[in-house]
């Protein structure tokens, strides 16, 4: 059997199979894993470094698919059945690591970055194939798999196949213990679901501190510190010309300044000493000597191109040093030579603007999985190297020069590459200059990386909220928000209410489930949870209050939080083990964890007990399916502000968030965040963390990363203002007592339903509850047997609540209905802007005017 047949062979009772005549690979009777064409793209990129086992590659594809977590649970179940055990070490270790991959930001699970992720994960991995075998597999796959029926016909599954696939993945946990470690290895930081703000320099009216230059901005930014901190050091050490003019030809004395042609006024005086006949003979035969005529200094409109290799060997430190060299050449304070920079990919080259930090960050994120940049270098030289007034620098890592394809291109175009700069991971910089038909080593520099990178800025994001061990309850926010694409988990509580846990360590609840998702937003319930996790469950206490459970895997820590009272408990739980089903579910008043044929129960108050007689596997699998259904139904990514670079009032009197401000749309019926009419700054707010911006009068703008701007005026008579950070949609705005704009954000119109007394006919009361609400009969029985006031629903449509109370009254039960959320008065957006936002802005402007007058 050929390499290809063996590599792509499918097996009985395994987690993947070929479908649709080889066009699709899927989990049996479940979702699609990958399409055939994309497999070819991946193998093409991985074959130069060696291919991993095909099953290992498919497992990482599953983990990085949109519904990865649920699919991994299915894989675990299938393989556990094949092994006839749920306690296999390689299987558990692999699933743990794959669950880690599901937590990567979406940007790393799609497009080119997804393939780069696979290259990083499988570089030098366990069970890797030889380069020859990998190249053979790719070549045969590209030409089309022969005898496809053989590999699609399943053969008996051998234990060695499972060990080969899952052990390769399990061992990756030793290389990458967190998603941050993986991202750092890829050498890129994006959060494409976040709305990146770019801005230009704007005229400043108010006295402000001098703006930082690009190099200072690079040093102050965590993403670019490694590059920026090297530039000034290189300015002092790098020996590259900073001026370019052709030398003037002026007579300075000596034989080289004499000529046999010239004007008579340049004739040497000594020639007149000859007799007339001899003098005329010398003139006629062009033997007379003249001074070399002066040629004024010539302007040389030289332009430099700096080419940075972004292929595989140039990732990490070599790339940081390469960008620093490029900036040292392009941004030298004394240079007057125009300079353009380009990043060379595998086939294309990308222009780089060095005028602002945002474009440099974008350029730093360009990485290619190819072993060399020969094709893109050849394409660039063909397009740009014909002009004599161009000087080209090529920056790469020394080992790439051993690639035959790259050497061929460099030899063919040696006359066009004026400088070669070699950078490596130890901070060595070697500069070579073209000299006739060869190159000459002109300089060696060793950068003291350890010393230069010692004062690195804090690794915590500037706009990340401080960790507060005591979670902050947000019951007083008078406005709803939109969910974003950073939901870690969405699930339904026992009463059907929908909760969302996001990447900002915050919990949101769908405000009015009965109204449908498009009609109402999410209520921000709490934030500043003590850690990030995707192990999340919601239960209901004996008093009818929502209690959330979070599990901290590294510390084996359970965190319980009552969303009504704020009471919380932290419990060490060493009995936890990763399973194919949800780690925790809520059933009959307690949280459950099941593994090793044991069932642990955790009360909402934090009491842990073991119930060996309980065997709730079916409940766990049902919960798994329910979570998957809820996530598919309620995940709704939206673009919103998260990284606000500046807040200011412009010369038009608008409050501007980076570039956007509130605008009227649809004849003033709605408001929307859109680009401001002017970017000219009148009064700027200062910030130390990009989370709270403070104006001179003390007024602030707080950026809540879960989706809100919170405006607090220095004038206590002005109520706080709340503005959602959603872009591209009409928004609502609010104070604690006033609301305007899109009703999606209106926090009102629903009721809380409390069962005070079920009456004597408890069975009839339980049936009415079951018919009106999303409860099982067992849960309804629990409510009527509780014996005291208990909350049945935290948010229920008002008319439905009234109908429910009438139905319960007919069977002798007593139900109380309370208004949930705010009862804010609604006004038109223009009135809100004029009465509330305008007052907030005028307070800041007037303070500045008074200060100017007094000074």
Rounded-to-integer distance, Cα 800 and Cα 815, Å: 13
Start-to-end Cα distance in the chain? 89
Which whole number is the average pLDDT over 795-817? Answer: 83
Q: How far is CA 132 from CA 146, 275, 400, 405, in A?
A: 19, 87, 20, 18
pLDDT digits (tens, 9 = 90+) for 86-139: 778 788 888 888 988 888 888 888 888 888 889 889 988 888 888 888 888 888
pLDDT-above-90 percentage for the chain = 14
Strands across the sheet containing 608-610: 585-587, 590-595, 598-602, 608-610
Which whole number is the average pLDDT over 528-545? Answer: 87
| Whether 267 and 311 share a structural domain | no
| Whether 580 and 431 share a structural domain | no
Which whole number is the average pLDDT over 590-609? Answer: 87
Predicted pLDDT at 193: 39
Q: How confident is the model at residue 199 (pLDDT cuts 50, 70, 90)?
A: very low
| Whether 342 and 401 share a structural domain | yes
With respect to residue 196, please indicate whether it lies within any of the assigned structural domains. no
Predicted pLDDT at 209: 41
Whole-prediction pTM:
0.47
Report the range of poorest mean pLDDT among 162-176, 419-433, 463-477, 831-845.
463-477
With respect to residue 55, please indicate whether it lies within any of the assigned structural domains. yes
Report the range of poorest mean pLDDT among 195-199, 226-230, 367-371.
195-199
With respect to residue 595, please indicate whether it lies within any of the assigned structural domains. yes
| Whether 788 and 846 share a structural domain | no
pLDDT digits (tens, 9 = 90+) for 410-420: 888 888 888 99
Which whole number is the average pLDDT over 499-517? Answer: 80
Based on the structure, what is the number of domains in the chain? 6
Q: What is the CA radius of gyration of the chain?
A: 35
* Burial of 609 per CB tally in 10 Å (0-12, 13-18, 19+): exposed
Rounded-to-integer distance, Cα 183 and Cα 176, Å: 10
pLDDT digits (tens, 9 = 90+) for 809-852: 898 888 888 776 566 788 999 999 999 999 999 999 987 655 44
The whole domain housing 762 covers: 750-820
Residue 464: is its pLDDT beyond 80?
A: no
With respect to residue 669, please indicate whether it lies within any of the assigned structural domains. yes
Strand-pair partners of 143: none
With respect to residue 168, please indicate whether it lies within any of the assigned structural domains. yes
Residue 201: is its pLDDT beyond 50?
A: no
Beta strand ranges found along 377-426 (DSSP E): 390-396, 419-423
| All residues at 6 or more sequence positions from 309 whose CB lies less than 8 Å from its CB, including other chains | 322, 344, 372, 373, 377, 394, 395, 396, 397, 400
Predicted pLDDT at 126: 85
Q: How confident is the model at residue 188 (pLDDT cuts 50, 70, 90)?
A: very low
pLDDT-above-70 percentage for the chain = 85
| Whether 689 and 755 share a structural domain | no
With respect to residue 832, please indicate whether it lies within any of the assigned structural domains. yes
| Whether 20 and 60 share a structural domain | yes
Strand-pair partners of 693: 701
Strand-pair partners of 225: none
| Whether 227 and 268 share a structural domain | no
pLDDT digits (tens, 9 = 90+) for 682-695: 999 998 878 899 99
Residue 743: is its pLDDT beyond 70?
A: yes
| Whether 582 and 714 share a structural domain | no
| Mean of all residue pLDDT scores within the chain | 81
Predicted pLDDT at 430: 92
CATH of the domain at 780: 3.30.1390.10
With respect to residue 761, please indicate whether it lies within any of the assigned structural domains. yes
| Whether 613 and 646 share a structural domain | no
**Pairing between strand 585-587 and 790-797?**
unpaired
Beta strand ranges found along 374-533 (DSSP E): 390-396, 419-423, 428-435, 438-446, 472-473, 487-492, 498-502, 507-510, 522-527
Strand-pair partners of 590: 587
With respect to residue 238, please indicate whether it lies within any of the assigned structural domains. yes
> Last residue of some domain: 146, 162, 186?
186
| Whether 658 and 576 share a structural domain | no
> Last residue of some domain: 628, 650, 682?
628
Rounded-to-integer distance, Cα 178 and Cα 418, Å: 43
Rounded-to-integer distance, Cα 344 and Cα 313, Å: 13
Rounded-to-integer distance, Cα 308 and Cα 328, Å: 13
Question: Which residue do the tokens 């999303």 mark?
Answer: 774
| Whether 393 and 541 share a structural domain | no
Type and span of the H or E element at 180: helix 179-186
CATH of the domain at 304: 3.40.50
pLDDT digits (tens, 9 = 90+) for 287-323: 888 876 555 445 556 788 899 998 888 888 899 999 9
| Whether 428 and 493 share a structural domain | no
Report the range of poorest mean pLDDT among 257-266, 280-289, 390-399.
257-266
Question: Which residue do the tokens 């707080």 mark?
Answer: 702
């Amino acid at each position: 059997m050929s390499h290809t047949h063996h590599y792509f062979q499918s097996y009985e009772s395994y987690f993947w199979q070929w479908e649709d005549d080889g066009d699709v690979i899927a989990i049996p009777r479940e979702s699609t894993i990958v399409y055939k064409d994309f497999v070819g793209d991946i193998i093409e990129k991985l074959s130069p470094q060696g291919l991993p086992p095909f099953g290992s590659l498919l497992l990482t594809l599953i983990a990085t698919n949109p519904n990865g977590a649920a699919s991994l649970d299915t894989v675990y179940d299938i393989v556990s059945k094949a092994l006839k055990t749920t306690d296999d070490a390689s299987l558990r270790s692999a699933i743990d690591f794959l669950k880690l991959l599901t937590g990567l930001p979406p940007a790393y699970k799609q497009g080119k970055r997804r393939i780069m992720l696979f290259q990083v994960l499988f570089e030098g991995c366990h069970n890797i194939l030889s380069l020859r075998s990998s190249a053979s597999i790719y070549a045969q796959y590209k030409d089309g798999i022969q005898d496809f029926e053989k590999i699609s016909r399943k053969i008996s599954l051998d234990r060695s196949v499972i060990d080969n696939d899952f052990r390769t993945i399990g061992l990756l946990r030793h290389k990458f213990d967190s998603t941050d470690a993986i991202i750092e290895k890829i050498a890129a930081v994006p959060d494409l679901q976040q709305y990146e703000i770019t801005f230009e320099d704007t005229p400043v009216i108010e006295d402000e501190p001098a703006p930082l230059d690009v190099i200072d901005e690079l040093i102050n930014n965590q993403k670019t510190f490694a590059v920026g901190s090297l530039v000034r050091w290189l300015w002092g050490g790098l020996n590259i010309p900073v001026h370019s003019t052709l030398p003037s030809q002026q007579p300075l004395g000596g034989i080289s300044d004499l000529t046999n042609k010239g004007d008579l006024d340049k004739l040497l005086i000594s020639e007149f000493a000859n007799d007339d006949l001899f003098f005329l003979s010398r003139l006629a035969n062009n033997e007379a000597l003249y001074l070399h005529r002066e040629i004024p200094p010539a302007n040389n409109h030289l332009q430099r191109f700096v080419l940075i290799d972004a292929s595989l060997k140039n990732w990490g430190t070599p790339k940081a040093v390469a960008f620093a060299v490029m900036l040292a050449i392009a941004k030298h304070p004394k240079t007057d030579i125009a300079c353009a920079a380009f990043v060379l990919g595998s086939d294309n080259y990308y222009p780089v603007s060095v005028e602002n930090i945002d474009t440099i960050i974008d350029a730093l994120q360009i990485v290619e999985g190819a072993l060399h940049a020969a094709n893109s270098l050849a394409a660039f030289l063909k397009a740009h190297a014909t002009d004599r007034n161009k000087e080209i620098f090529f920056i790469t890592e020394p080992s790439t020069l051993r690639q035959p394809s790259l050497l061929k291109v460099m030899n063919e175009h040696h006359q066009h590459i004026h400088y070669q700069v070699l950078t490596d991971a130890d901070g060595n910089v070697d500069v070579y200059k073209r000299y006739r038909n060869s190159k000459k080593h002109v300089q060696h520099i060793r950068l003291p990386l350890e010393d230069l990178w010692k004062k690195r800025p804090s690794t915590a994001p500037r706009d990340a909220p401080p960790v507060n061990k005591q979670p902050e309850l947000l019951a007083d926010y008078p406005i709803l928000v939109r969910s974003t694409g950073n939901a870690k988990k969405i699930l339904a509580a026992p009463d059907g209410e929908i909760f969302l846990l996001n990447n900002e360590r915050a919990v949101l609840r769908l405000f009015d489930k009965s109204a449908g998702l498009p009609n109402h937003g999410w209520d921000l319930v709490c934030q500043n949870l003590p850690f990030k996790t995707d192990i999340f469950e919601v239960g209901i206490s004996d008093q009818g209050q929502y209690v959330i459970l979070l599990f901290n895997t590294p510390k084996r820590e359970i965190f319980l939080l009552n969303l009504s009272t704020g009471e919380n408990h932290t419990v060490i739980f060493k009995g936890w083990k990763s399973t194919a089903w949800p780690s925790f579910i809520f059933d009959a008043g307690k949280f459950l964890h099941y593994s090793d044929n044991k069932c642990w129960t955790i009360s909402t108050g934090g009491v842990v007990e073991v119930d060996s007689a309980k065997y709730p596997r079916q409940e766990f699998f049902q919960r798994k399916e329910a979570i998957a259904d809820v996530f598919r139904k309620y995940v709704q990514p939206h673009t919103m502000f998260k990284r606000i670079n500046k807040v200011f009032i412009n010369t038009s009197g608008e409050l501007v968030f980076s570039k956007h401000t509130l605008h009227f749309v649809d004849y003033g019926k709605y408001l929307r965040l859109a680009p401001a009419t002017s970017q000219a700054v009148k009064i700027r707010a200062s910030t130390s963390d990009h989370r709270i911006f403070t104006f001179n009068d003390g007024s602030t703008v707080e950026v809540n990363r879960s989706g809100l701007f919170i405006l607090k005026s220095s004038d206590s008579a002005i109520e706080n203002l709340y503005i959602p950070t959603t872009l591209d949609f009409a928004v609502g705005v609010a104070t604690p007592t006033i609301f305007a704009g899109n009703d999606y954000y209106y926090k009102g119109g629903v009721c809380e339903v409390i069962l005070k007394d079920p009456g004597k006919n408890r069975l009839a009361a339980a049936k009415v509850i079951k018919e009106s609400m999303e409860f099982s009969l067992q849960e309804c029985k629990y409510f009527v047997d509780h014996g005291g006031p208990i909350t049945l629903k935290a948010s229920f449509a008002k008319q439905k609540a009234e109908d429910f109370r009438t139905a319960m009254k007919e069977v002798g039960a007593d139900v109380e209905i309370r208004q949930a959320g705010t009862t804010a008065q609604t006004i038109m957006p223009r009135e809100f802007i004029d009465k509330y936002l305008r007052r907030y802005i005028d307070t800041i402007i007037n303070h500045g005017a008074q200060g100017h007058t007094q000074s």
